[in-house]
């Protein structure tokens, strides 16, 4: 065989991975399994492997959901993934299902939205909330008992409304979701016209202001900084006293580089004061266990160039990364508490 052909073959073999389709299983595992489970059996996110789910959602719904997420409802937007990567994830999810995948038209369903609102209150609001804002919690339980096997999804959410076609919403109402609390209203005698009216009411959400469940906190600064008029040692003592008078428990004080250098060689001019409000912590973890990432509460006191500064990561800004509107108020409150502690320490 001529050497040039062998070389060409080798070159082609080297380049093939670059042109190969993205690995859907790997992408799913990295981006989705944390919430939805490795085999799609759910957890923080809804179960994706249920046959009743696959039988009622089209590929476009899955794709748009991955790309747009659900603002304020934990599921983030994976808009940085390429089209090919999202398609590969969708293909991987479909590998759990052997039945027929539906295709829905874009055609809107006509109905009486006003009447649909009354029907929604009667049949849907119990789980999805009076204004379609969805159930509470993330679905992640941190091994605690949960009220619902699945947190009822928010229907008044721009991510959902822009991903679901009217025909898909109606099919879900007709057939329900076997394996979830979602009932099959079509099989419970709810008339076709009533179902159309409910769909019209859901579509009408688009004209209404966003519910608080779909809103994220306004972005604040990344850090809270305040200068202290006192020296380093006094400021640290003041912070410790101030945390106690602001309903926190002082946990410990340590140099920033403790554990990184040999004991006794730490930088004495950068100290972290750790503290906690255990009741608030318990409440925060019950709402969303992921917030532990920024625990325990801390204020760092730094002396540089003769100036003493108190600094903390801003919980109000950090709340945004969890995409959980239920954390908004709590994070805002903790930001205010941090500022109160710093102000008191600087008094």
Partner 1 sequence: MKLAHAFALTLALWFNSAIADELLMVRSSQNFEDAMTTLQATIAEHGYKVTRVQRVDVGLEAKGYKTDRYRIVFYGKPGEIEALAAKYPKLIPYLPLAVAIFAEEGNTILTTARPALLKQFYPEPELKPIFDRWEKDLVGIMDEVREAK
Q: Rule CB under 8 A: which of 314-343 touch partner 1?
A: 318, 320-323
Which residue stretch of 86-94, 112-120, 227-235, 255-263 sits at the interface with partner 1 (rule: CB under 8 A)? Answer: 255-263
Residue 110: closest CA among 196, 201, 206: 196
Single out the residue of 24, 72, 116, 135 in contact with partner 1 (rule: CB under 8 A): 72
| 69 vs 176 by CB, closer to partner 1 | 69
Which residue stretch of 11-19, 69-77, 166-174, 180-188 sits at the interface with partner 1 (rule: CB under 8 A)? Answer: 69-77
| 191 vs 208 by CB, closer to partner 1 | 208
Single out the residue of 27, 35, 154, 171 in contact with partner 1 (rule: CB under 8 A): 35
Residue 43 found at the interface with partner 1 (CB under 8 A):
yes
Residue 260 found at the interface with partner 1 (CB under 8 A):
yes
Q: How far is the CB of 1 from partner 1 (least distance, A)?
A: 39
Positions of E strands within 192-285: 223-228, 249-255, 270-276
Residue 251 found at the interface with partner 1 (CB under 8 A):
yes
Q: What is the dihedral of CA 288, 69, 122, 181, to 10 degrees?
A: -70
Residue 210: closest CA among 254, 142, 162: 162
Q: How far is the CB of 332 from partner 1 (least distance, A)?
A: 16
Dist CA 153 CA 46 (whole Å)? 9
Which residue stretch of 97-105, 172-180, 240-248, 301-309 sits at the interface with partner 1 (rule: CB under 8 A)? Answer: 301-309
| 43 vs 51 by CB, closer to partner 1 | 43
Dist CA 58 CA 64 (whole Å)? 10
Dist CA 136 CA 122 (whole Å)? 20
Residue 158: closest CA among 221, 67, 88: 67
Q: Is 71 helix (H, G, I), strand (E, B) or coil?
A: coil
Single out the residue of 183, 226, 258, 346 in contact with partner 1 (rule: CB under 8 A): 258
Work out the angle between the directed axes of helices 328-346 and 278-287 (0-180°, nearest 10).
Answer: 150
Q: Is 261 helix (H, G, I), strand (E, B) or coil?
A: strand
Q: How far is the CB of 141 from partner 1 (least distance, A)?
A: 7
Q: Rule CB under 8 A: which of 91-120 touch partner 1?
A: 108
Site map 129..158 versus partner 1, x via CB under 8 A: -----------xxxxx-------------x
Is residue 232 within 8 Å of 269, Cβ to Cβ?
Answer: yes
Site map 209..228 versus partner 1, x via CB under 8 A: -x---xxx-----xx-x---
Q: How far is the CB of 196 from partner 1 (least distance, A)?
A: 17
Residue 53 DSSP code: H
| 55 vs 346 by CB, closer to partner 1 | 346
Which residue stretch of 87-95, 164-172, 270-278, 328-336 sits at the interface with partner 1 (rule: CB under 8 A)? Answer: 270-278
Q: Rule CB under 8 A: which of 174-203 touch partner 1?
A: none
Edge-first strand listing for the sheet containing 249-255:
223-228, 307-313, 297-304, 270-276, 249-255
Dist CA 62 CA 54 (whole Å)? 10
Site map 4..33 versus partner 1, x via CB under 8 A: -------------------------xxx-x
Q: How far is the CB of 130 from partner 1 (least distance, A)?
A: 20
User: What phi and psi values does residue 20 have, to the nearest 5 degrees?
Assistant: -65, 155
Q: Give the CA distances from residue 200 to residues 62, 127, 177, 295, in Å, rounded to whole numbers and listed in that order.
A: 22, 19, 20, 45
């Amino acid at each position: 065989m001529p050497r040039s052909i062998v070389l060409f073959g080798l070159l082609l073999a080297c380049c093939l991975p670059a042109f190969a389709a993205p690995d859907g299983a790997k992408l799913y595992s990295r981006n989705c399994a944390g919430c939805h489970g490795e085999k799609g059996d759910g957890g923080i996110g809804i179960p994706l492997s249920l046959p009743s789910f696959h039988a009622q959602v089209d590929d476009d719904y899955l794709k748009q959901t991955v790309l747009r997420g659900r603002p304020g409802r934990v599921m983030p937007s994976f808009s940085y993934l390429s089209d090919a990567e999202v398609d590969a994830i969708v293909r991987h999810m479909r590998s759990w299902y052997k039945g027929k995948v539906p295709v829905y038209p874009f055609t809107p369903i006509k109905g009486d939205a006003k009447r649909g609102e009354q029907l929604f209150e009667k049949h849907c609001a119990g789980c999805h909330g009076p204004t379609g804002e969805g159930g509470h919690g993330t679905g992640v339980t941190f091994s605690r008992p949960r009220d619902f096997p699945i947190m009822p999804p928010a229907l008044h959410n721009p991510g959902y409304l822009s991903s679901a076609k009217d025909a898909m919403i109606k099919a879900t109402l007709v057939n329900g979701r076997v394996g979830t609390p979602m009932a099959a209203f079509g099989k419970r005698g709810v008339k076709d016209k009533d179902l159309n009216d409910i769909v019209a009411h859901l579509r009408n959400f688009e004209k209404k202001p966003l519910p608080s469940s779909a809103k994220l906190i306004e972005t604040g600064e990344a850090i809270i900084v305040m200068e202290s008029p006192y020296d380093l040692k006094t400021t640290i003592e003041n912070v410790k006293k101030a945390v106690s008078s602001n309903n926190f428990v002082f946990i410990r004080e340590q140099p920033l580089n403790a554990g990184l250098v040999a004991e006794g060689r730490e930088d004495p001019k950068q100290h972290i004061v750790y503290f906690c409000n255990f009741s608030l912590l318990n409440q925060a973890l019950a709402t969303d266990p992921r917030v532990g990432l920024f625990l325990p509460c801390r204020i760092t006191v730094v002396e540089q160039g003769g100036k003493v500064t108190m600094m903390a990561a801003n919980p109000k800004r950090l709340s945004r990364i969890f995409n959980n509107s239920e954390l908004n108020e709590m994070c805002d409150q903790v930001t205010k508490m941090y500022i109160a502690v710093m102000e008191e320490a600087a008094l």
